[in-house]
A and B are shown apart, each in its own frame.
Chain A
């Protein structure tokens, strides 16, 4: 139990385009989801906290207009990277609290902007 499915696992996009990453809780309801960014050989940095039915809370330094988060249901949160640029290339991971199972992570999305 307590699986978070993240898609796509890998995406390449052209500079200036937008990319949407989905994070879906398969067997539990997630009122709160977290989005992290991880650069190669570095730690996970929290970008934003996604709350179902309300606006996301962004960490300092994260551009909310570039990284649009939508949490419209108890099982789905999406992160859209708008007008992507090469510096947005990174590994993005979502996480959700699954009650007694604790916190579970998605398998991550590797974004490459060319």
Chain B
């Protein structure tokens, strides 16, 4: 079974600063997808960024970037120039190519951006 681990239950960052959220996973598959989702107080799940395992280049979406280390099975999210609207729960998720395209979510990291 796939497992996703987020070891930081809570984090905080000053507005305009940079913060990195950690995620590790375990799988025997060689081709898969990794995601970071944001869940603000509204509880709506919002896709932040996605990485395909066969791509060595780290994904980037504006202020959000990842550090994907396939051998280490690590997938961290860096948020640059943090904004108050970034305050949310962040979930790391794994999706394999087998098993019906289901997500395996980590336990989440609650991020608070401090003004």
A residues near B (Cβ < 8 Å) are: 32, 34, 38, 41-46, 49, 57, 91, 93, 95, 97, 102-103, 105, 107-108, 110
Task: Write out the residue numbers on chain B whose beta carbons fall within 8 Å of the beta carbon of A108.
Answer: 43-44
| A102 in contact with B50 given A43-B91, A44-B91, A49-B100 (CB within 8 Å) | yes
Nearest first, the 4 closest Cβ-Cβ pairs linking A and B are: A105-B45, A43-B105, A108-B43, A43-B107
When chains A and B are docked, how far (Å) is the Cα of A84 from the Cα of B96? 33
B39-62 contacts to A, CB under 8 A, are 42-45, 47, 50
Chief secondary structure at chain A's binding surface: strand
- Check B103 against A103 for contact (C-beta < 8 Å): yes
- Measured in the bound complex, the distance between the Cα atoms of B91 and A94 in whole Å is 16
Q: Can you list 22 contacts pairing A with B, beta carbon distance less than 8 Å?
A: A32-B100, A32-B101, A34-B102, A34-B103, A38-B43, A41-B110, A42-B107, A42-B108, A43-B91, A43-B107, A43-B108, A44-B105, A93-B43, A95-B45, A95-B103, A97-B101, A102-B47, A103-B103, A105-B44, A107-B44, A108-B43, A110-B43
Fill in one digit per residue for B72-115: 1 if any A CB lies within 8 Å of its CB, else 0.
00000000000000000001000000001111011110100000
